[in-house]
Amino acid sequence: MWTPVLQGLLILAHAGEVRAACQSAELDFIVQAGDAVLAAIEDDVRADLAKLGITVNTRFLEKEDFNSNMTSGNFNLCFSETWGPPYDPHSYAASWKSPDEAHYAALQGMQPPLTQDQLSTKISDVLLEENLQQREQKWKDILSGLHEQAIDLPFSGKRMPTVLSKRLAGYVPGQQQFDYPVHTLRALSGSTTITVAPGAQTGLFSSVGRMDPHTYRPNEFFANNWVYEGLTKYGANGVTEPALAASWTFSDLPSGGQEYRFTLAQNVKFHDGSDWNCTVAKLNFDHVLAKPLTSGDEHGWYDLPAQIVSWSCAGDYEFVLSTKDKYYPLLQELTYIRPLRMLSPAMFASGLTTDPTTENSCYSPGRVVTNFGETITCAGTRGASGTGPFKFVETLSNGDVRFDRHSEYSGGEPKIERIILKKYDSHSEVMAALLDGSLDAVMGAGVLEPEDFHTLHTTHAFRFQMFLGPPIMNRVIIMNAAKAPTDNLNLRKTIMHAVNKAEIIDKELFGMAAPVDALFPKNLPYCDVDLTPRWDYDREKAELLWCSAAAEESGGNVTVTVLVIVIVVAVVAVAVVAFFLFKLGKKQGADEQKLLHAKAAGEPPAGQMGKVDEAAV
């Protein structure tokens, strides 16, 4: 009878301990409106944290408001993504010094032994490290120190999906997020014009922007990558390969920097017929690296612009760069889709003679930029013309965009004659277009819902080719260490262990991602580091961290509360035991009295009444 009572009291005591110790907290979670997948993940994260008494108040913001709140640090939690190759880890980490990045605000709350300033110094230092082993150790120290601060909740590895009609062949996966190599495709049947729904920076494609290789939004990476080339390109397994530079050498300078000599590719034509040579290379560098444009709010988001101190021609096809220091990422950073892709000289305001000070290619016309004691005036560009495999033709009245192949492309004429980029207002419209045959290809993330991709794979595999690349970048939740209550390290660690990533990913992403426990994918340079503690789901550890932190903040009140409960339980337990002992003693006394009475009357003892005497049978 008393066992259930005892169990109930013990359960009550434990529940009282959890309720008393796991105090409440309220978090401000900002999410960009319009992304159904992120909204679903947010809902699951909120539910997981609610189990520990942590309330999440979510604000779904339009892009402009989201960016404003993110860069000003007006958040506790926000979704973000690493940039993937070729930017991770060096350029992504270097960008944290820019106020335009969420990390800039979130890292301001870092505490010794690694403050934000110390982290920035370490990142600048590792980019100049010549010795490979020392460079690896320095990156390990950076990643370990940042990991211990628990600012980035590593969530999932992002993979790039592709859906192709079976009338197409020759697919080769891209080497970075917005790399869609249509030039490798060929049509097995039907037209050599293909329709494509590409993944854009906003998810669903809406516009290719100005198609300007020297500036940023609203230009789209994938479109600029089709149209423009740089001196080098990012190849498979992270290898830097020749592009508009056929080869290169480098040597050390007495100043401490290095000199790079690029032998440029010959017989290369721009889409408008202009020739590629060193004069054009220098013109592009003159405009992009004009001193005022190397500030952090222009091209200084990565370190290359500040490292290049001079550039010149040593002949029609020999381009020479000199650097301030021995900067190891230089060749890789020259592969970036922006801002150092090469624009035809005919597209500058005054052609080959365009002055980078008075008619700079920067956007927008008439804008004046002053930094480092120098001033330039922007004139913009006259159009889009590069040396890439496809040339921009026009934006159609319905918002679709036409690209035609560049028949003189130095990498070989593409088999696909024309690309029509299709503009859709919803994921369901994309799905319908695939199924009715009006759409040949979906390339990249954010075009189809994960559930749609799963449906195509399981139900319509006979009609489509489905590709899912390896994880190349990580989705993370940034926790702002500079804003209460996520300025509390124990709370950040609690959140790390409280979110059941595997369950959420399985539920919302349909196998298109996998849980991760580090900021960067392990297969990227310098990122295969054993980081401890592991930021994985562990509800008991989360409760321990959160309760311990709350108990310390309560000044001992929680301990007293729990102690009182334990004492009450102990007193009740003693009373119950005493009661049972009393009942047992009383019963034994009564039995002895009955036995004495039975003996006096000559009766057999209780328990032997009616017993058969087997020996007499």
pLDDT in tens, 264-313: 999 999 999 999 999 999 999 999 999 999 998 899 889 999 999 999 99
Report residue 166's pLDDT band, with 50, 70 and 90 as the boundaries.
very high
What mean pLDDT comes out for the span 11-34?
70
Average pLDDT over residues 514-527: 93
**Buried b / exposed e along 291-309 (16+ C-beta atoms within 10 A):** bbbbbbebbbbbbbbbbbe
Q: What is the pLDDT of residues 318-330, one digit of tens each?
A: 999 999 999 999 9
d(CA 452, CA 430): 10
Quick check: bond before 86 cis, omega within 30?
yes
CATH T-level fold of 206-377: D-Maltodextrin-Binding Protein; domain 2 (3.40.190)
Q: Give the per-residue pLDDT at 180.
A: 95
Domain boundaries, the chain: 1-21+556-580, 24-158+474-553, 206-377
Q: pLDDT class for 201, splitting at 50, 70, 90?
A: confident
pLDDT at 398 over 80: yes
Please enumerate in sequence order all residues whose Cβ is within 8 A of that of 42, keeping only pairs 6 or more positions apart, or say none: 29, 31, 56, 58, 79
- What is the mean pLDDT of the segment spanning 240-247? 98
* Positive or negative: CA dihedral 202, 208, 210, 213: positive
pLDDT tens-place string over residues 343-365: 999 999 999 999 999 999 999 88
Average pLDDT over residues 236-265: 96
Check residue 596 and give its pLDDT: 44
Least confident of 15-19, 502-506, 607-611: 607-611
Q: How confident is the model over 156-169, as a mean pLDDT?
A: 95
Is residue 582's pLDDT more than 80? no
Query: What local confidence, expressed as pLDDT, does residue 512 receive?
Result: 87
Q: Which residues of 213-230 are buried (b: 16+ CB within 10 A; e: fewer)?
A: bbbbeebbbbbbbbbbbb
Cis peptide bond prior to 251, omega within 30° of 0: no
Q: Strands (DSSP E) along 275-434, which ranges?
A: 308-313, 318-323, 368-371, 374-377, 390-395, 401-405, 418-421
Most confident residue range from 129-143, 454-468, 507-521: 129-143
Q: What are the distances in angstroms from CA 231 to CA 43, 209, 341?
A: 45, 23, 8
The token pair that represents 495 in the structure block: 């959140």
Distances (CA, A) of 358 to 148, 353, 377: 49, 11, 5
Bridge-partner residues for 81, per DSSP?
Answer: 475
The percent of residues above 70 in pLDDT, for the chain, comes to 85
Q: Say what the pLDDT of residue 63 is.
A: 85
pLDDT for 586 beyond 90: no
pLDDT at residue 580 in the model: 55
pLDDT of residue 605: 42
State the pLDDT at residue 8.
Answer: 47
If you average pLDDT over every residue of the chain, what do you get? 88
Q: Which amino acid is at 506?
A: D
Instruction: Tell me the C-alpha distance between 265 and 241, whole Å.
Output: 13
CA distances from 483 to 77, 117, 288, 479, 535 (A): 10, 18, 37, 9, 21
Contact 469, 94 (CB under 8 A): no
What is the CATH number that goes with domain 24-158+474-553? 3.40.190.10
Tokens of 47: 């539910």
Q: Tokens 């035609």 map to which residue? A: 404
Tell me the mean pLDDT in the region 255-261.
97
- The pair of three-digit structure tokens given for residue 165, joined into one six-digit string: 């009609």
Question: Counting every residue, how long is the chain?
Answer: 617
DSSP 317: T
Give all strands (DSSP E) within 435-521, no chain letters.
441-443, 464-468, 473-479, 513-515
Token pair in block for residue 404: 């035609």
Tell me how many degrees the CA angle 317-320-323 measures, rounded to the nearest 5: 160
Contact (CB, 8 A) for 78 and 30:
yes
In SS3 terms, 292-303 reads as: HHHCCCCCCCCC
Mean pLDDT of 441-452: 94
What's CA 79's distance to the chain center, in Å?
8
Which pLDDT band holds residue 591 (cuts at 50, 70, 90)? low
Q: What is the pLDDT of residue 606?
A: 40
Share of the chain above pLDDT 90, in %: 77
pLDDT of amino acid 10: 44
**Three-state DSSP state, 472:** coil
**Which secondary-structure segment (H or E) carries 552?**
helix 539-553
pLDDT number for residue 470: 82
The end-to-end CA distance of the chain, in Å, is 45
pLDDT tens figures, 528-563: 999 999 999 999 999 999 986 555 555 444 444 444
Query: Tell me, what's the pLDDT at 583?
Result: 57
The span from the CA of 229 to the CA of 179, in Å, is 13
For 320-349, the DSSP string reads: EEEESS--TTHHHHTT-SSSSPPPPGGGST
Q: In degrees rounded to 5, what are phi and psi of residue 404?
A: -115, 155
The token pair at 294 is 């190397």
Distance CA(235)–CA(77), nearest Å, equals 35
Specify burial of residue 449 (Cβ count, 10 A radius: 0-12, 13-18, 19+): buried
Q: How far apart are the C-alpha atoms of 56 and 48, rounded to whole Å?
A: 10
184 against 19, higher pLDDT: 184
Q: With 90 as the cut, is the pLDDT of residue 421 above it?
A: yes
pLDDT tens digits for range 81-123: 999 999 999 999 999 988 888 999 999 999 999 999 999 999 9
**pLDDT for residue 339:** 96
- 47-61, 180-194, 342-356, 535-549: which has the minimum mean pLDDT? 535-549
